[in-house]
Structure 1
Amino acid sequence: MKMKQDKNSYHHGDLKRALLDASIRILKEEGYKALSLRKAALTAGVSQSAPYRHYADLESLYADIAEEGFRLLSERLKNFQSRYKKRPLLLFRESGVTYVEFALEHPDLFRIMYGNQIESHSRYETLVLAENDSFRIIVEIIQDCKNAGLIRTDSVEKSATAAWTMVHGIAVLLAGKQVMFRSVDLQKARKVTKELISFLYNGMKA
Protein backbone atom coordinates (compact mmCIF):
# COMPACT_ATOMS: atom_id res chain seq x y z
CA MET A 1 0.00 0.00 0.00
CA LYS A 2 1.37 3.39 -1.03
CA MET A 3 1.93 5.69 1.91
CA LYS A 4 0.29 9.09 1.85
CA GLN A 5 2.83 11.81 1.02
CA ASP A 6 3.58 14.01 4.00
CA LYS A 7 2.26 17.52 3.42
CA ASN A 8 5.58 18.92 4.61
CA SER A 9 7.72 16.95 2.16
CA TYR A 10 9.17 18.69 -0.89
CA HIS A 11 11.16 17.35 -3.80
CA HIS A 12 13.29 18.61 -6.70
CA GLY A 13 14.08 21.96 -5.13
CA ASP A 14 10.49 22.77 -4.14
CA LEU A 15 11.44 23.07 -0.47
CA LYS A 16 14.12 25.67 -1.16
CA ARG A 17 11.73 27.65 -3.36
CA ALA A 18 9.00 27.45 -0.74
CA LEU A 19 11.35 28.71 1.97
CA LEU A 20 12.57 31.54 -0.24
CA ASP A 21 9.03 32.61 -1.14
CA ALA A 22 8.05 32.46 2.52
CA SER A 23 11.06 34.58 3.48
CA ILE A 24 10.26 37.24 0.88
CA ARG A 25 6.71 37.34 2.22
CA ILE A 26 7.97 37.80 5.79
CA LEU A 27 10.22 40.66 4.67
CA LYS A 28 7.32 42.38 2.96
CA GLU A 29 4.79 41.91 5.75
CA GLU A 30 6.89 42.04 8.92
CA GLY A 31 10.38 43.26 8.04
CA TYR A 32 13.78 41.64 8.06
CA LYS A 33 14.06 41.59 11.86
CA ALA A 34 11.17 39.10 11.97
CA LEU A 35 12.93 36.64 9.68
CA SER A 36 14.45 33.45 11.05
CA LEU A 37 14.83 29.90 9.76
CA ARG A 38 12.10 28.86 12.15
CA LYS A 39 9.76 31.63 10.96
CA ALA A 40 10.46 30.78 7.32
CA ALA A 41 9.60 27.13 8.01
CA LEU A 42 6.39 28.07 9.80
CA THR A 43 5.33 30.40 6.98
CA ALA A 44 6.16 27.80 4.33
CA GLY A 45 4.22 25.15 6.25
CA VAL A 46 7.14 22.77 6.77
CA SER A 47 8.81 21.30 9.83
CA GLN A 48 11.26 23.43 11.83
CA SER A 49 14.11 21.13 10.83
CA ALA A 50 13.34 21.32 7.09
CA PRO A 51 15.31 24.53 6.35
CA TYR A 52 18.52 22.87 7.50
CA ARG A 53 18.40 20.63 4.43
CA HIS A 54 19.45 23.70 2.44
CA TYR A 55 20.66 26.32 4.91
CA ALA A 56 23.36 25.90 7.53
CA ASP A 57 22.41 29.18 9.17
CA LEU A 58 20.40 32.36 8.70
CA GLU A 59 23.16 34.06 6.73
CA SER A 60 23.01 31.40 4.01
CA LEU A 61 19.28 32.08 3.71
CA TYR A 62 20.03 35.81 3.52
CA ALA A 63 22.41 35.06 0.63
CA ASP A 64 19.67 33.33 -1.36
CA ILE A 65 17.27 36.17 -0.57
CA ALA A 66 19.82 38.74 -1.76
CA GLU A 67 20.41 36.71 -4.93
CA GLU A 68 16.67 36.68 -5.58
CA GLY A 69 16.60 40.46 -5.05
CA PHE A 70 19.35 41.05 -7.62
CA ARG A 71 17.55 38.75 -10.05
CA LEU A 72 14.32 40.71 -9.66
CA LEU A 73 16.18 44.01 -10.04
CA SER A 74 17.92 42.76 -13.19
CA GLU A 75 14.59 41.69 -14.67
CA ARG A 76 13.27 45.21 -14.19
CA LEU A 77 16.31 46.80 -15.76
CA LYS A 78 16.24 44.38 -18.70
CA ASN A 79 12.59 45.22 -19.30
CA PHE A 80 13.56 48.88 -19.57
CA GLN A 81 16.38 47.96 -21.94
CA SER A 82 13.88 46.29 -24.25
CA ARG A 83 11.34 49.10 -23.96
CA TYR A 84 13.75 51.96 -24.59
CA LYS A 85 16.45 50.31 -26.69
CA LYS A 86 16.13 53.03 -29.35
CA ARG A 87 16.07 55.83 -26.78
CA PRO A 88 19.28 55.40 -24.78
CA LEU A 89 19.11 58.71 -22.93
CA LEU A 90 15.59 57.98 -21.68
CA LEU A 91 16.80 54.49 -20.73
CA PHE A 92 19.67 56.07 -18.78
CA ARG A 93 17.23 58.16 -16.76
CA GLU A 94 14.47 55.60 -16.28
CA SER A 95 16.83 52.81 -15.24
CA GLY A 96 17.98 55.04 -12.39
CA VAL A 97 14.42 55.82 -11.42
CA THR A 98 13.39 52.17 -11.43
CA TYR A 99 16.39 51.31 -9.22
CA VAL A 100 15.15 53.82 -6.64
CA GLU A 101 11.57 52.60 -6.98
CA PHE A 102 12.71 49.04 -6.38
CA ALA A 103 14.45 50.11 -3.16
CA LEU A 104 11.37 51.96 -1.94
CA GLU A 105 8.96 49.16 -2.83
CA HIS A 106 11.13 46.45 -1.22
CA PRO A 107 13.04 48.22 1.58
CA ASP A 108 13.82 45.13 3.65
CA LEU A 109 14.83 43.07 0.63
CA PHE A 110 17.05 45.97 -0.50
CA ARG A 111 18.57 46.12 2.99
CA ILE A 112 19.58 42.46 2.80
CA MET A 113 20.96 42.87 -0.73
CA TYR A 114 23.29 45.67 0.33
CA GLY A 115 23.40 45.58 4.13
CA ASN A 116 25.73 43.82 6.55
CA GLN A 117 23.48 40.83 7.23
CA ILE A 118 25.85 38.89 4.95
CA GLU A 119 29.41 39.17 6.24
CA SER A 120 31.09 38.40 2.91
CA HIS A 121 29.23 38.13 -0.39
CA SER A 122 32.29 36.49 -1.93
CA ARG A 123 31.44 33.31 0.00
CA TYR A 124 28.37 32.85 -2.20
CA GLU A 125 29.29 32.34 -5.85
CA THR A 126 25.80 32.57 -7.35
CA LEU A 127 25.07 35.72 -5.35
CA VAL A 128 28.18 37.39 -6.80
CA LEU A 129 27.12 36.33 -10.30
CA ALA A 130 23.68 37.88 -9.76
CA GLU A 131 25.27 41.11 -8.51
CA ASN A 132 27.59 41.23 -11.51
CA ASP A 133 24.68 40.67 -13.87
CA SER A 134 22.78 43.67 -12.50
CA PHE A 135 25.87 45.89 -12.80
CA ARG A 136 26.58 44.65 -16.33
CA ILE A 137 23.19 46.02 -17.39
CA ILE A 138 24.19 49.49 -16.15
CA VAL A 139 27.45 49.21 -18.11
CA GLU A 140 25.47 48.30 -21.24
CA ILE A 141 23.19 51.31 -20.77
CA ILE A 142 26.16 53.69 -20.47
CA GLN A 143 27.77 52.04 -23.50
CA ASP A 144 24.59 52.56 -25.55
CA CYS A 145 24.60 56.25 -24.61
CA LYS A 146 28.23 56.57 -25.65
CA ASN A 147 27.61 54.74 -28.94
CA ALA A 148 24.76 57.14 -29.68
CA GLY A 149 27.08 60.10 -29.15
CA LEU A 150 25.11 61.31 -26.12
CA ILE A 151 27.90 61.14 -23.55
CA ARG A 152 31.69 61.23 -23.57
CA THR A 153 33.69 58.97 -21.31
CA ASP A 154 37.14 57.40 -21.34
CA SER A 155 35.86 54.48 -19.28
CA VAL A 156 32.35 53.15 -19.66
CA GLU A 157 32.80 50.95 -16.60
CA LYS A 158 33.95 53.83 -14.39
CA SER A 159 31.06 55.98 -15.62
CA ALA A 160 28.66 53.12 -14.86
CA THR A 161 30.17 52.85 -11.38
CA ALA A 162 29.67 56.59 -10.83
CA ALA A 163 26.05 56.40 -12.05
CA TRP A 164 25.30 53.35 -9.90
CA THR A 165 26.95 54.90 -6.82
CA MET A 166 24.90 58.08 -7.11
CA VAL A 167 21.58 56.36 -7.71
CA HIS A 168 22.27 53.85 -4.95
CA GLY A 169 22.99 56.71 -2.56
CA ILE A 170 19.68 58.33 -3.48
CA ALA A 171 17.89 55.03 -2.92
CA VAL A 172 19.48 54.51 0.51
CA LEU A 173 18.68 58.04 1.67
CA LEU A 174 15.10 57.86 0.38
CA ALA A 175 14.46 54.37 1.78
CA GLY A 176 15.82 55.45 5.15
CA LYS A 177 14.03 58.81 5.02
CA GLN A 178 17.32 60.47 5.84
CA VAL A 179 18.63 64.03 5.61
CA MET A 180 16.70 66.04 3.00
CA PHE A 181 14.49 63.06 2.11
CA ARG A 182 12.66 62.68 5.43
CA SER A 183 9.18 63.36 4.04
CA VAL A 184 9.39 62.36 0.36
CA ASP A 185 6.67 60.16 -1.17
CA LEU A 186 7.13 57.90 -4.20
CA GLN A 187 6.02 60.53 -6.72
CA LYS A 188 8.42 63.10 -5.26
CA ALA A 189 11.15 60.46 -5.15
CA ARG A 190 10.81 59.94 -8.90
CA LYS A 191 11.11 63.68 -9.50
CA VAL A 192 14.15 64.04 -7.25
CA THR A 193 15.87 61.06 -8.90
CA LYS A 194 15.26 62.41 -12.41
CA GLU A 195 16.68 65.80 -11.42
CA LEU A 196 19.82 64.31 -9.90
CA ILE A 197 20.36 61.96 -12.85
CA SER A 198 20.13 65.04 -15.10
CA PHE A 199 22.97 66.61 -13.13
CA LEU A 200 25.04 63.48 -13.67
CA TYR A 201 24.23 63.37 -17.39
CA ASN A 202 25.11 67.06 -17.87
CA GLY A 203 28.55 66.28 -16.51
CA MET A 204 29.07 63.49 -19.06
CA LYS A 205 27.20 64.68 -22.13
CA ALA A 206 29.07 65.01 -25.37
Structure 2
Amino acid sequence: MKKPPKKHSYHHGDLKKALIAATLTLLKEEGYQSLSLRKVSKIAGVSQSAPYRHYEDVEALLADVALEGFLLLGMSLERVRLKYRRKPLLQFRESGVSYVEFALKNPDLFQIMYGNQIQNHSKFSSLMKAEEETFHVLIKIISDCKEAGILESENEKQTAMAAWTMVHGIAILLLGKQVMFRNAELKDARRMTKEMIEHLYLGLKLRA
Protein backbone atom coordinates (compact mmCIF):
# COMPACT_ATOMS: atom_id res chain seq x y z
CA MET A 1 0.00 0.00 0.00
CA LYS A 2 1.41 3.37 -1.02
CA LYS A 3 2.12 5.64 1.96
CA PRO A 4 0.76 9.20 1.89
CA PRO A 5 3.39 11.88 1.34
CA LYS A 6 5.16 13.05 4.47
CA LYS A 7 3.95 16.39 5.79
CA HIS A 8 6.70 18.98 5.56
CA SER A 9 7.38 22.16 7.48
CA TYR A 10 8.23 25.02 5.11
CA HIS A 11 9.66 28.42 5.81
CA HIS A 12 7.74 31.46 4.57
CA GLY A 13 8.27 31.61 0.81
CA ASP A 14 9.37 27.98 0.53
CA LEU A 15 5.77 26.88 0.99
CA LYS A 16 4.68 29.12 -1.86
CA LYS A 17 7.31 27.61 -4.18
CA ALA A 18 6.32 24.10 -3.11
CA LEU A 19 2.65 24.77 -3.85
CA ILE A 20 3.43 26.21 -7.30
CA ALA A 21 5.68 23.23 -8.09
CA ALA A 22 2.97 20.83 -6.90
CA THR A 23 0.40 22.58 -9.09
CA LEU A 24 2.66 22.31 -12.14
CA THR A 25 3.11 18.60 -11.41
CA LEU A 26 -0.66 18.13 -11.11
CA LEU A 27 -1.20 19.97 -14.40
CA LYS A 28 1.14 17.57 -16.20
CA GLU A 29 -0.21 14.44 -14.55
CA GLU A 30 -3.97 15.08 -14.40
CA GLY A 31 -4.73 18.31 -16.28
CA TYR A 32 -6.16 21.65 -15.22
CA GLN A 33 -9.68 20.28 -14.74
CA SER A 34 -8.47 18.19 -11.80
CA LEU A 35 -6.96 21.12 -9.92
CA SER A 36 -7.94 21.63 -6.30
CA LEU A 37 -6.13 22.96 -3.23
CA ARG A 38 -6.67 19.55 -1.60
CA LYS A 39 -4.80 17.73 -4.37
CA VAL A 40 -2.08 20.36 -4.51
CA SER A 41 -1.60 20.06 -0.74
CA LYS A 42 -1.29 16.30 -1.00
CA ILE A 43 1.37 16.47 -3.72
CA ALA A 44 3.28 19.17 -1.81
CA GLY A 45 3.12 17.04 1.33
CA VAL A 46 1.48 19.70 3.48
CA SER A 47 -1.79 19.93 5.38
CA GLN A 48 -4.95 20.96 3.54
CA SER A 49 -4.99 24.23 5.46
CA ALA A 50 -1.39 25.15 4.56
CA PRO A 51 -2.16 26.80 1.16
CA TYR A 52 -4.40 29.33 2.90
CA ARG A 53 -1.34 30.87 4.51
CA HIS A 54 -0.59 32.36 1.09
CA TYR A 55 -3.73 31.97 -1.01
CA GLU A 56 -7.32 32.86 -0.21
CA ASP A 57 -8.58 30.53 -2.93
CA VAL A 58 -7.47 28.39 -5.86
CA GLU A 59 -7.66 31.35 -8.27
CA ALA A 60 -4.95 33.19 -6.34
CA LEU A 61 -2.71 30.12 -6.58
CA LEU A 62 -3.43 29.81 -10.31
CA ALA A 63 -2.41 33.46 -10.77
CA ASP A 64 1.06 32.59 -9.46
CA VAL A 65 1.15 29.47 -11.64
CA ALA A 66 0.21 31.56 -14.69
CA LEU A 67 2.90 34.06 -13.73
CA GLU A 68 5.43 31.21 -13.71
CA GLY A 69 4.17 30.20 -17.16
CA PHE A 70 4.68 33.69 -18.57
CA LEU A 71 8.18 33.86 -17.09
CA LEU A 72 9.04 30.54 -18.79
CA LEU A 73 7.50 31.66 -22.08
CA GLY A 74 9.31 35.00 -21.92
CA MET A 75 12.64 33.28 -21.33
CA SER A 76 11.99 30.97 -24.26
CA LEU A 77 11.28 33.91 -26.57
CA GLU A 78 14.30 35.82 -25.28
CA ARG A 79 16.54 32.81 -25.99
CA VAL A 80 15.29 32.83 -29.60
CA ARG A 81 15.96 36.56 -29.85
CA LEU A 82 19.53 36.18 -28.60
CA LYS A 83 20.22 33.07 -30.69
CA TYR A 84 19.23 34.86 -33.90
CA ARG A 85 20.30 38.37 -32.92
CA ARG A 86 22.17 38.75 -36.24
CA LYS A 87 19.30 37.20 -38.22
CA PRO A 88 16.21 39.21 -37.27
CA LEU A 89 13.97 37.55 -39.84
CA LEU A 90 14.68 34.22 -38.17
CA GLN A 91 13.95 35.90 -34.83
CA PHE A 92 10.53 36.81 -36.19
CA ARG A 93 9.79 33.33 -37.48
CA GLU A 94 11.31 31.22 -34.73
CA SER A 95 9.75 33.26 -31.93
CA GLY A 96 6.36 32.29 -33.35
CA VAL A 97 7.38 28.66 -33.61
CA SER A 98 8.70 28.78 -30.04
CA TYR A 99 5.38 30.17 -28.81
CA VAL A 100 3.39 27.39 -30.48
CA GLU A 101 5.78 24.71 -29.23
CA PHE A 102 5.48 26.05 -25.69
CA ALA A 103 1.70 25.72 -25.91
CA LEU A 104 1.87 22.18 -27.31
CA LYS A 105 4.39 21.01 -24.71
CA ASN A 106 2.54 22.66 -21.80
CA PRO A 107 -1.14 22.52 -22.81
CA ASP A 108 -2.65 22.66 -19.33
CA LEU A 109 -0.30 25.41 -18.15
CA PHE A 110 -1.15 27.32 -21.34
CA GLN A 111 -4.84 26.90 -20.49
CA ILE A 112 -4.27 28.42 -17.06
CA MET A 113 -2.34 31.32 -18.60
CA TYR A 114 -5.02 32.17 -21.16
CA GLY A 115 -8.20 30.42 -20.07
CA ASN A 116 -10.96 31.64 -17.79
CA GLN A 117 -9.76 29.90 -14.63
CA ILE A 118 -8.50 33.36 -13.60
CA GLN A 119 -11.50 35.61 -14.05
CA ASN A 120 -9.70 38.95 -13.81
CA HIS A 121 -5.95 39.10 -14.41
CA SER A 122 -5.86 42.76 -13.38
CA LYS A 123 -6.43 41.65 -9.76
CA PHE A 124 -2.88 40.29 -9.75
CA SER A 125 -0.28 42.98 -10.44
CA SER A 126 2.68 40.58 -10.64
CA LEU A 127 0.87 38.47 -13.23
CA MET A 128 0.04 41.55 -15.30
CA LYS A 129 3.68 42.63 -15.19
CA ALA A 130 4.89 39.19 -16.35
CA GLU A 131 2.40 39.24 -19.25
CA GLU A 132 3.56 42.69 -20.33
CA GLU A 133 7.25 41.74 -20.12
CA THR A 134 6.63 38.64 -22.23
CA PHE A 135 4.85 40.72 -24.86
CA HIS A 136 7.68 43.26 -24.77
CA VAL A 137 10.11 40.59 -26.00
CA LEU A 138 8.05 40.33 -29.18
CA ILE A 139 8.02 44.11 -29.54
CA LYS A 140 11.84 44.02 -29.34
CA ILE A 141 11.93 41.40 -32.08
CA ILE A 142 9.75 43.57 -34.32
CA SER A 143 12.07 46.48 -33.52
CA ASP A 144 15.12 44.38 -34.47
CA CYS A 145 13.49 43.56 -37.82
CA LYS A 146 12.69 47.21 -38.39
CA GLU A 147 16.25 48.33 -37.59
CA ALA A 148 17.61 45.68 -39.99
CA GLY A 149 15.47 47.16 -42.76
CA ILE A 150 13.53 43.95 -43.43
CA LEU A 151 10.24 45.17 -42.00
CA GLU A 152 8.53 48.54 -41.89
CA SER A 153 6.10 49.31 -39.13
CA GLU A 154 4.62 52.60 -38.07
CA ASN A 155 3.46 51.05 -34.82
CA GLU A 156 5.72 48.28 -33.49
CA LYS A 157 3.33 47.42 -30.66
CA GLN A 158 0.44 47.00 -33.09
CA THR A 159 2.56 44.83 -35.41
CA ALA A 160 3.66 42.71 -32.45
CA MET A 161 0.01 42.32 -31.46
CA ALA A 162 -0.90 41.13 -34.95
CA ALA A 163 1.91 38.55 -34.88
CA TRP A 164 1.02 37.38 -31.36
CA THR A 165 -2.66 37.07 -32.22
CA MET A 166 -1.87 34.89 -35.21
CA VAL A 167 0.48 32.47 -33.48
CA HIS A 168 -1.86 32.29 -30.49
CA GLY A 169 -4.67 31.34 -32.84
CA ILE A 170 -2.48 28.64 -34.39
CA ALA A 171 -1.66 27.31 -30.92
CA ILE A 172 -5.35 27.17 -29.92
CA LEU A 173 -6.33 25.40 -33.16
CA LEU A 174 -3.52 22.88 -32.74
CA LEU A 175 -4.39 22.19 -29.11
CA GLY A 176 -8.02 21.69 -30.07
CA LYS A 177 -7.08 19.66 -33.16
CA GLN A 178 -9.41 21.83 -35.19
CA VAL A 179 -9.86 22.59 -38.89
CA MET A 180 -6.65 22.15 -40.90
CA PHE A 181 -4.69 21.23 -37.76
CA ARG A 182 -6.86 18.24 -36.89
CA ASN A 183 -4.22 15.57 -37.56
CA ALA A 184 -1.07 17.67 -37.17
CA GLU A 185 1.90 16.21 -35.29
CA LEU A 186 4.58 18.38 -33.65
CA LYS A 187 6.78 18.39 -36.77
CA ASP A 188 3.76 19.36 -38.86
CA ALA A 189 2.94 22.10 -36.37
CA ARG A 190 6.42 23.56 -36.77
CA ARG A 191 6.19 23.54 -40.57
CA MET A 192 2.69 24.97 -40.69
CA THR A 193 3.55 27.68 -38.16
CA LYS A 194 6.59 28.70 -40.19
CA GLU A 195 4.47 28.91 -43.33
CA MET A 196 1.83 31.06 -41.64
CA ILE A 197 4.43 33.41 -40.17
CA GLU A 198 6.09 33.77 -43.56
CA HIS A 199 2.68 34.71 -45.03
CA LEU A 200 2.26 37.32 -42.29
CA TYR A 201 5.75 38.72 -42.93
CA LEU A 202 5.14 38.97 -46.68
CA GLY A 203 1.84 40.74 -46.04
CA LEU A 204 3.48 43.24 -43.71
CA LYS A 205 6.36 43.75 -46.13
CA LEU A 206 4.07 44.28 -49.14
CA ARG A 207 1.80 46.60 -47.21
CA ALA A 208 4.84 48.68 -46.22
Q: Place the TM-score, normalised by the shorter chain, in its bin.
A: over 0.9
- Conserved 8 A contact 2:7-2:47: no
Alignment-mate amino acid for residue 107 of structure 1: P
Distance (whole Å) between structure 2 residues aligned to residue 8 and residue 155 of structure 1? 52
Are 2:21 and 1:59 equivalent residues in the alignment?
no
Distance (whole Å) between structure 2 residues aligned to residue 85 and residue 135 of structure 1? 18
Name 1:105's counterpart in structure 2. Answer: 105
Paired residues for 1:57-136 under 5 Å? 57-136=57-136
Name 2:190's counterpart in structure 1. Answer: 190
**How far is 1:53 from its partner?**
0.4
Name 2:158's counterpart in structure 1. Answer: 158
**How far is 1:189 from its partner?**
0.1
Alignment-mate amino acid for residue 83 of structure 1: K
Distance (whole Å) between structure 1 residues aligned to residue 100 and residue 109 of structure 2? 13
Name 1:16's counterpart in structure 2. Answer: 16
Name 1:140's counterpart in structure 2. Answer: 140
**How far is 1:34 from its partner?**
1.1
Deviation digits for residues 112-161 of structure 1, max 9, x if unmatched?
10001111000000000000000000000000000100011111110000
Moved over 2 A (4+): none
Distance (whole Å) between structure 1 residues aligned to residue 136 and residue 107 of structure 2? 23
**How far is 1:7 from its partner?**
4.9
| 3-state DSSP of counterpart to 2:184 | coil
Gaps of 5+ in 2: 1-5
Alignment-mate amino acid for residue 38 of structure 1: R
Q: Structure 2 length normalisation: TM-score?
A: 0.94
Q: Percent identity?
A: 59
Paired residues for 1:13-52 under 5 Å? 13-52=13-52
Q: Structure 1 length normalisation: TM-score?
A: 0.95
Q: Output the aligned Cα RMSD.
A: 1.1
Alignment-mate amino acid for residue 61 of structure 1: L
**How far is 1:175 from its partner?**
1.0
Distance (whole Å) between structure 2 residues aligned to residue 108 and residue 188 of structure 1? 21
Distance (whole Å) between structure 1 residues aligned to residue 154 and residue 164 of structure 2? 17
Alignment-mate amino acid for residue 20 of structure 2: L
Gaps of 5+ in 1: 1-5
Q: How many residues align?
A: 201
**How far is 1:55 from its partner?**
0.7
